[in-house]
């Protein structure tokens, strides 16, 4: 064969090989990526099925009612009566404090958890040997302003707690088994990473839609997405939240209660000095007790009965033999 023909042949074979390689690559990618049936209906991301149970198994159902005008003192007395902070927080625990920082509202207006309680609780947990304390909430108003204006951010940080603002990446879908409403709904799960104890701290407030916003309604601040939709079935969502969240301890601050125009309030005229702080391990009982501060009974608040039905606690707080302390 002439050299020219050889060169041509080699060139042709080279080209043929490259062509073959392209086809092979194309065929390979097509085979890997093949999707004969197309996308299915909006498949929900695999959802978490619930939160861990933070309640102490041997703590039992305890309730303490402290009457005092000084909320920090009330907190101290209440914790003492319940066995001391050491009964709840052990050395090495990572504690999450869920506050109500819903509105960018000053502490004076009692629409949010009082910062003094946040800093005192943080201090106590750290003193009991907690490895870390986190403070979080998903406010209705802009998170940065809410935590700032309510004073909670500053209080948390200065006491040594880590403040976690609700970032997009902290929300993950959660489907509560057998629940009707909390199905594949984004929940603020990020701050729970590594947490061993959960304490809820909330003020006593009137609520236009649900009747009252207390310890159980506090967990609404763990919901993400367009959570306003749940206002269409407010009592069921509060009950499901109480069922979903099993805290170690809840603190309900009724030192100054918002009697009307809740949950935002806005005027000192909405408030009343009820000088009561309720702490306990049964959030339904705590709320039932807190209702009295607003001049309501458990029967006036359907979510209490619904939560009790779901097994989140008991509405008959008296049956827990609450410890009453005058401070």
Partner 1 sequence: MRIVTARRASQLFFFALFLWFCVAATLGERFWQLRGWPVNWLLDLDPLAGIATLLSTRTLYAGLLWGLATLALTVVLGRVFCGWICPFGAMHQFIGFLARRTRRLAVQVELNRFRPAQAVKYYLLAFFLAAALLLPREWMSSGSVQIGLLDPLCLAHRSVNLILLPLADRAGLGLAPLPRFYEGAGLIGAVFLCALLLNLWLPRFYCRFVCPLGALLGILSRFALWRIGRTEEGCTDCRRCERSCEGACTPTARIRIGECVMCLNCLDECRHDAIAYRTRPSAAGEALLPDLSRRGFVASAVSGLLAAPVLRLGGGAGPNWNAGLIRPPGALAEEDFLARCIKCGQCMRVCPTNVIHPAGLESGIEGLWTPKLNFRVGTSGCQHTCIACGHLCPTAAIRPISLEERTGRGGSAGRRPLRVGTAFVDRGRCLPWAMDKPCIVCQENCPVSPKAIFTREVFNPVRTGAPLAVTGTDGARLVLASAALEAHRFGTGDYHALLPGGLRLRIASNSADALDLERPLGGEEPPAPGSPVSILVRLQQPYVDPKQCIGCGVCEHECPVLGLRAIHVTAENESRSPHHRMVL
Secondary structure of 220-246 in HEC code, one letter for each residue: HHHECCCHHHHHHHHHHHHHHHHHHCE
Single out the segment in contact with partner 1 by CB under 8 A; choices: 124-132, 205-213, 224-232, 300-308: 224-232
Residues binding partner 1: number (CB under 8 A): 30
Q: Is 269 exposed, middle or buried (0-12, 13-18, 19+ CB in 10 A)?
A: exposed
Which of 6, 193, 229, 268 touches partner 1 (CB under 8 A)? 229
Nearest CB to partner 1, comparing residues 30 and 326: 30
Question: Least distance in Å: CB of 310 to partner 1?
Answer: 18
Nearest CB to partner 1, comparing residues 28 and 311: 28
182 and 174 in contact (C-beta within 8 Å)?
A: yes
Rounded to whole angstroms, how far apart are CA atoms 130 and 124?
9
Q: Is 3 in the site for partner 1 (CB under 8 A)?
A: no
Q: Which of 294, 293, 258, 295 is nearest to 105 (CA)?
A: 258
For residue 44, the 8-state DSSP code is P
Which of 1, 57, 58, 226 touches partner 1 (CB under 8 A)? 226
Q: Where are the alpha helices (DSSP H) in 85-209?
A: 115-127, 143-149, 152-159
Cis peptide before 108 (omega within 30 of 0): no
Question: Least distance in Å: CB of 202 to partner 1?
Answer: 25
Single out the segment in contact with partner 1 by CB under 8 A; choices: 4-12, 76-84, 246-254, 271-279: 4-12
Q: 89 to 118, contacts with partner 1 by CB under 8 A? A: none
β-bridge partners, 200: 98, 250
- Please give the full DSSP string across 160-188, using - where no structure is assigned: TPEEE---GGGEEEE--TT-SS-SSEEEE
String of contacts with partner 1 for each residue 153-182, x by CB under 8 A = ----------------------------x-
Q: 34 to 53, contacts with partner 1 by CB under 8 A? A: 34-42
For residue 163, the 8-state DSSP code is E
Rounded to whole angstroms, how far apart are CA atoms 185 and 143?
20
String of contacts with partner 1 for each residue 6-25, x by CB under 8 A = --x--xx--xx-xx--xx--
Question: Least distance in Å: CB of 13 to partner 1?
Answer: 10
Q: Contact positions toward partner 1, by CB under 8 A?
A: 8, 11-12, 15-16, 18-19, 22-23, 26-27, 29-30, 33-42, 181, 225-226, 229-230, 232-233
């Amino acid at each position: 064969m002439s050299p020219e023909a050889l060169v041509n042949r080699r060139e042709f074979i080279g080209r043929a090989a490259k062509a073959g390689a392209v086809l092979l690559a194309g065929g390979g990618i097509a085979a890997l990526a093949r999707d004969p049936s197309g996308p299915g209906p909006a498949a929900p991301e695999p959802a978490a099925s619930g939160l861990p149970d933070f309640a102490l198994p041997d703590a039992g159902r305890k309730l303490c009612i402290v009457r005092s005008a000084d909320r920090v003192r009330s907190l101290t007395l209440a914790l003492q009566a319940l066995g001391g902070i050491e009964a709840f927080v052990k050395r090495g625990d990572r504690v999450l404090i869920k506050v109500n920082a819903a509105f960018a509202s000053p502490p004076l207006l009692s629409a949010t958890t009082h910062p003094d309680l946040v800093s005192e609780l943080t201090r106590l947990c750290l003193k009991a040997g907690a490895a870390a304390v986190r403070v979080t909430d998903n406010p209705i108003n802009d998170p940065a302003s809410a935590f700032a204006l309510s004073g909670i951010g500053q209080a948390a940080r200065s006491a040594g707690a880590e403040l976690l603002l609700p970032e997009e990446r902290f929300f993950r879908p959660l489907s509560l088994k057998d629940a009707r409403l909390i199905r594949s709904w984004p929940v603020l799960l990020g701050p729970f990473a590594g947490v061993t104890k959960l304490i809820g701290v909330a003020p006593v407030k009137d609520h236009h839609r649900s009747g009252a916003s207390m310890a159980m309604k506090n967990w609404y601040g763990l919901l993400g997405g367009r959570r306003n939709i749940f206002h269409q079935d407010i009592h069921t969502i509060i009950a499901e939240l109480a069922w979903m969240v099993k805290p170690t301890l809840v603190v309900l601050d009724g030192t100054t209660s918002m009697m009307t125009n809740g949950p935002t309030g806005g005027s000192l005229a909405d408030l009343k000095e009820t000088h009561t702080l309720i702490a306990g391990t049964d959030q339904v009982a705590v709320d039932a007790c807190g209702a009295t501060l607003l001049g309501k009974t458990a029967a006036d608040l359907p979510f209490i009965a619904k939560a009790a039905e779901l097994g989140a606690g008991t509405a008959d707080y008296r049956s827990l033999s609450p410890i009453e302390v005058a401070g």
